[in-house]
Structure 1
Amino acid sequence: MADASAPPDSIPGPAHPADARPTGPLPAVAWRPVGAAVLVLGVLLTATSTRYGYHRDELYFRMLEPGWGYVDQPPLTPWLARTFAELFGDTLLVLRIPATLAHLAAIVVIALVARELGGRAGAQALAAWGYGTAAIPVAFGHTLLTSSLDLLMWPAVLLCVIRAVQRDPRWWLAAGLVTGVALYNKLLVVALLGGILLGLVVAWPWRTLRRSAAPDRWPLTTPWPWAGAVVALLVGLPNLVFQATNGWPQLAMGAALGENNAADVRSEMWLFQLLTLGPPLALVWLVGLVWLWRRRPLLRFLVVAYPVLLVFTYVAGSQTYYATGLLSVLFAAGCVPVAGWARAGRRRAVVVALVALNAVVCLVISLPLVPVAVLGETPVADINSAAQDAVGWPEYVRQIADVHAALPAEDRDRTVVLTQNYGEAGAVDRYGPALGLPAAYSGHNELWEYGPPPASATVALVLTEAPGAWGDRFEECAPRGRLDNGVGVDNEEQGVSILECRSPAGGWAALWPELRHLD
């Protein structure tokens, strides 16, 4: 993965004036190793895309009606899920195509970041293969999540910003365009922009530029970043209007996630930084941090932006992976000096061996390679929560259908399924019609907005982890079974009770407000 013709830019050292602003043409794009990584990962992700089953978020996306936004997210990822299903068929293979394409595109973007920083074929190959087979990128490339698209959009924004700062300020317009599109996926891209802005304020290398007689005009005193901001606002305006006219539901959702997740996020996020790409590749992005600060003074804002995002992650307490898009770019930066260091045959072998070892471990953890029958006996299910969330849905729905079939015939037409979360509701929506199940309702996130069951529905099959809490909500409730995925995977649904409840107290209109929850 090293390039014998690469310059000896291998070990972080003091900044040189000539390094302030790169001159000359960029290295050629290493299409062969980068394309090979794209091809191999594309085949691997496609071949494994139908193993296990739907993730709970994917089941949820299928249920969401078209809209400019939802209480828990902007519209892009549900729109992709719905559009691909309508165009190519409502199957798991089709549903995951956008995630696969996003991961493959991100591989190319990460390689291009390494090229933008002076990395030749060896650095680009290391960036493509290392990132392409890393733990979190592969997991998000396998499953269609909102974070799957973020891992493409954030590095794409940063690539444009790097080009704008180093070479051509007109690239701020491209950064604004990508940011505007990213707003339709998550508003979190604003946190990335905040980190970039703070980095440009506190880390711009005025002294280095003066010594090198290079232009020292601060980017924020030129019109281009502000023109890029206008582009981002114009592109993202419909989504921002939706948020503003609906009370900024994304902020309420973030607060709810923080309330539920903060303790775990704040304790786990530090180790997560080392595990995101895998421990061997953590060495590379740590080298990238030091190398950017000492050898690429114009890009020191990236070094500052990283702790800014860590602070944001800690304070928000919502999810651990918020800094992953920037961390991937730091990895691409580290590939340049590491590839230069690994020009010698023995060093090259060490780097290749570490990347290969990291790839094997990450692929086993992040992809459904372990047979589902033994998944519960391995540590994979405990490490990869996405694997847990993709197991058991057809079995759970069949068990609910068995309870429904046991109801008196006169009750079946006035029965609904009431679930505790959107994953269960989505599973009933996906598998229930073929088994004769009625519609599913839930108070979870956007599904609460779709309203309560009809007044004619006087019987509810309630899925709950707290069966004792439902006695006051209905005139009568009785347990009728428990969900069991049959393979011993301890996911959120395993062991959940199925209750047969009759006559909601005060009617659905009175009960429905109690059932709303954001998490």
Structure 2
Amino acid sequence: MTTATTAASTPPVQSSRLSWTAYAVAAGTTVLLLALSGRYGPHRDELYFVAAGHHLQWGYPDQPPLTPLIARLADAVAPGSLLALRLVPALAIGAVVLLVAGLARQLGGGPGAQLLAALATGGGAGVLAVGHLLSTSTIDLLVWTAVIRLTVTALQRNDSRWWLAVGAVLGVGLENKHLVAFLAAGLVIGIAATPVLRHHLRSPWAWAGAVLALALWAPNLWWQQVHGWPQLELGADIRAEYGSLGGALMLVGFQAILLGPVAFVLVVGGLRGALLRPQWVAVRPVGIAYVVLLPVFVLLGGKHYYLLGLLPPLAAVGAVIDAGRRRVREVRRFAVLLGLTALVPLPALLPVLPPHALDASFYPALNEDGMETIGWPRVVATVRGVVAALPDEQRANAVVLTSNYGEAGALQWYGAPAPVFSGHNGYGDWGPPVSTGPVVYVGPRAPSADALTGCRRAATLDTGVDNEEDGNGVWVCDGPAGSWAQAWPRLRHLDA
């Protein structure tokens, strides 16, 4: 081992234990998320995950199986409970806060640095937004944070055995969301670009970790291959939507918003420190990964939150730098500023306002997810009314067909008046119906005549707020055009 390698892998002086303030921020964030978990209602994606969890398989057209499995377990423990559904996300975010504060400690940061890192993470707008809901992005954030923390440990201690743990976490993460493969690639590029760390890429432990990750990912890859790689088609749809100049500007601009403008100061400082400070060469691959992946996602048309998982670790590096040059009193003031600025976008992230107040505010323009958790009971009540108005002999054989998985999931969550189907994403694999009765169709526009025949509008949805479902129609149709086998391909669609 060279002298440069030895110096690069020598850990900084660490605090004896994680600061109590870091535990307090993690606990406070988790408690806040749990306390607000039952307000409004489920998000359309959560409704879909619960439905997918009742059709467990190694993959779906739009995601791997881990999040649907978590949703299935939550629904089995407490059916219809938002608290149960959102328990894992709240705990995951608490774990993210502790991992990031622990990274600050690992880099030599004292209690002040750990507090800043914890607040930047726990109060981050993007972190709170994904932490409120059960989504693939929530688990993905935890996976990215854990992979980065384990990678830094392997590099800092120059102990290649840690790569096996990195591979295990990476493999589990790939069964949740494929996005983490980009993180792995970015970190490998970062290590390859750092001469004193490059020997890790030749380690048998690193290769064993890669094999383990691929082995854990293999069942989902097999499912995708058997089904014609539908996730690639979905990726093309995302690129079409976000690959414009506006999408690129949103992705870049949101880098300063995802944790908040004040916390972004720490991110920028951490990025510079990771790239330039010789004593922190172990975190240099994290900075290089960010520099590499930002233009990659711009070119690929990535969504604005795709790089969220890299921001808290970089903020931890920045927190160590910032706290190291400030007096204790100044660190405390900066911590207060972080906490206060986190309150500004809170109504856009969490259900703290009454629904009508949220609807009348500008907050939905910042984050529309809150609006998509309001009004589902009214949607279901309208559909129930249409089905109830059918003649008895028709009602007995009727089916409900929806244009998207949110509508279908809501009908199943709140209790459908008839069997529910949809052609959207995974729901398309669970159809078609076999009924010969009428079809109650829910969607923004009337179904095409080559899919359903004899359609007449029976009702209009009123969710009480201006969201995606408000104003959609409910039609009663005679049945499919031809047989269901003929009509179903025309009703199926794969989109984000």
**Contact residue 464 and residue 498 of structure 1 kept, 8 A:** yes
1:200-234 deviation per Cα after TM superposition (whole angstroms, max 9, x unaligned): 222x155xxxxxxxxx7622132222121122123
**Contact residue 134 and residue 362 of structure 1 kept, 8 A:** no
CA distance in 2, matches of 1:138, 1:124: 19
> What are structure 2's unaligned runs of at least 5 residues?
none
Q: TM-score, normalised by structure 2?
A: 0.93
1:253 aligns with 2:234: yes
**Contact residue 179 and residue 232 of structure 1 kept, 8 A:** yes
CA distance in 1, matches of 2:253, 2:350: 21
CA distance in 2, matches of 1:108, 1:483: 44
CA distance in 2, matches of 1:491, 1:217: 51
Q: Secondary structure of the equivalent of 2:369?
A: helix
Residues 241-320 of structure 1 aligned to structure 2 (within 5 Å): 241-263=222-244, 265-295=247-277, 296-320=280-304
Aligned to 1:11: none
CA distance in 2, matches of 1:290, 1:178: 27
How far has the Cα of 1:471 moved from its partner? 3.9
Aligned to 2:172: 181
For 2:367, which of 375, 384, 387 is the aligned residue? 384
Q: Secondary structure of the equivalent of 2:344?
A: helix
1:172 aligns with 2:163: yes
Aligned to 1:212: none
1:493 aligns with 2:472: no
**Contact residue 68 and residue 242 of structure 1 kept, 8 A:** yes
How far has the Cα of 1:475 moved from its partner? 3.1
Q: TM-score, normalised by structure 1?
A: 0.89
Residues 345-360 of structure 1 aligned to structure 2 (within 5 Å): 345=329, 347-360=330-343
CA distance in 2, matches of 1:200, 1:24: 20
Aligned to 2:192: 201
For 1:42, which of 30, 38, 46 is the aligned residue? 30
How far has the Cα of 1:139 moved from its partner? 1.1
Change (3 A) 1:30 1:384: same
CA distance in 2, matches of 1:363, 1:341: 30
For 2:356, which of 355, 366, 373 is the aligned residue? 373
How far has the Cα of 1:349 moved from its partner? 4.5
1:172-225 deviation per Cα after TM superposition (whole angstroms, max 9, x unaligned): 1111110011011012111111111112222x155xxxxxxxxx7622132222
For 2:418, which of 434, 438, 458 is the aligned residue? 438
CA distance in 2, matches of 1:506, 1:362: 51
CA distance in 2, matches of 1:318, 1:495: 30
CA distance in 2, matches of 1:426, 1:17: 54
**Contact residue 134 and residue 363 of structure 1 kept, 8 A:** no
Aligned to 1:340: 324
Aligned AA for 2:325?
Answer: W
1:66-94 deviation per Cα after TM superposition (whole angstroms, max 9, x unaligned): 11111111100000010122134431111
CA distance in 2, matches of 1:149, 1:404: 38
> What are structure 1's unaligned runs of at least 5 residues?
1-15, 207-215
Aligned to 2:407: 424
For 1:475, which of 450, 453, 458 is the aligned residue? 453
**Contact residue 11 and residue 156 of structure 2 kept, 8 A:** no
How far has the Cα of 1:160 moved from its partner? 0.6
How far has the Cα of 1:267 moved from its partner? 3.2
Q: CA RMSD in A?
A: 2.0
CA distance in 2, matches of 1:326, 1:447: 33
How far has the Cα of 1:304 moved from its partner? 1.6
Q: Secondary structure of the equivalent of 1:386?
A: coil
Aligned to 1:398: 381
For 2:64, which of 74, 96, 99 is the aligned residue? 74
Report which stretch shifted further, 240-249 or 380-389. 240-249
Q: Secondary structure of the equivalent of 1:470?
A: coil
Aligned AA for 2:326?
Answer: A
CA distance in 2, matches of 1:344, 1:36: 19
**Contact residue 342 and residue 351 of structure 1 kept, 8 A:** no
Aligned AA for 1:110?
Answer: V
Aligned to 1:322: 306
How far has the Cα of 1:25 moved from its partner? 5.3
Aligned to 1:108: 98
1:449 aligns with 2:429: yes
How far has the Cα of 1:464 moved from its partner? 2.0
Aligned to 1:506: 482
Change (3 A) 1:96 1:298: closer
Aligned to 1:63: 51
CA distance in 2, matches of 1:89, 1:422: 19
CA distance in 1, matches of 2:344, 2:365: 15
**Contact residue 445 and residue 518 of structure 1 kept, 8 A:** yes
Q: Secondary structure of the equivalent of 1:461?
A: strand
Q: Secondary structure of the equivalent of 1:498?
A: strand
Q: Secondary structure of the equivalent of 1:54?
A: coil
Aligned AA for 2:487?
Answer: L
1:93 aligns with 2:83: yes
**Contact residue 205 and residue 297 of structure 1 kept, 8 A:** no
For 2:136, which of 136, 140, 146 is the aligned residue? 146
**Contact residue 56 and residue 389 of structure 1 kept, 8 A:** yes
CA distance in 1, matches of 2:354, 2:252: 31
Change (3 A) 1:400 1:88: closer
Aligned AA for 1:197?
Answer: V
Q: How many residues align?
A: 486
CA distance in 2, matches of 1:354, 1:22: 34
CA distance in 2, matches of 1:217, 1:183: 25
Higher RCO, Cα 8 Å, sep 6+: 1
CA distance in 1, matches of 2:49, 2:406: 10
How far has the Cα of 1:135 moved from its partner? 0.5
CA distance in 2, matches of 1:439, 1:88: 23
Report which stretch shifted further, 97-106 or 475-484. 475-484
**Contact residue 483 and residue 497 of structure 1 kept, 8 A:** yes
CA distance in 2, matches of 1:184, 1:67: 11
CA distance in 2, matches of 1:393, 1:181: 33
User: Percent of aligned positions with the same letter in both sequences?
Assistant: 41
